[in-house]
């Protein structure tokens, strides 16, 4: 009786895992196909990109972040330790 109960529960879990793995594989395949279509020009996203919302405004926390590599002036004192 215990073995039968456990076997049924394990079977349900194995089925759920198999479905989830299949869904993941399908999403990966879709992502690969979408990327290929974008690169080859089969899918045009310019119109969709034109309707994207504006990026969020910079906050005071954003301005305190370290500068990006291309924002660093090589002649400034910031790079003297390099």
Question: Dihedral of the CA atoms 10, 11, 13, 17 (nearest 10)?
Answer: 130
Rounded to the nearest integer, the mean pLDDT of the chain is 81
Higher pLDDT, 21 or 59: 21
- Flag whether pLDDT at 37 surpasses 70: yes
Q: Band the pLDDT of 60: cuts 50, 70, 90.
A: low
**Alpha carbon distance 11, 23 (integer Å):** 18
- Residue 8 binned pLDDT confidence (cut-offs 50, 70, 90): confident
Residue 34: partners with Cβ closer than 8 Å, 6 or more residues away: 43
């Amino acid at each position: 009786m215990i073995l039968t109960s456990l076997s049924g529960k394990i079977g349900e879990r194995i089925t759920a895992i198999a479905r989830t793995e299949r869904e993941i594989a399908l999403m990966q395949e879709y992502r690969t196909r979408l990327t290929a279509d974008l690169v080859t020009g089969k899918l045009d996203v310019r119109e969709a990109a034109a309707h994207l919302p504006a990026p969020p405004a910079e906050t005071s926390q954003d301005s305190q972040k370290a500068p990006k590599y291309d924002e660093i002036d090589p002649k400034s004192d910031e790079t003297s330790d390099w």
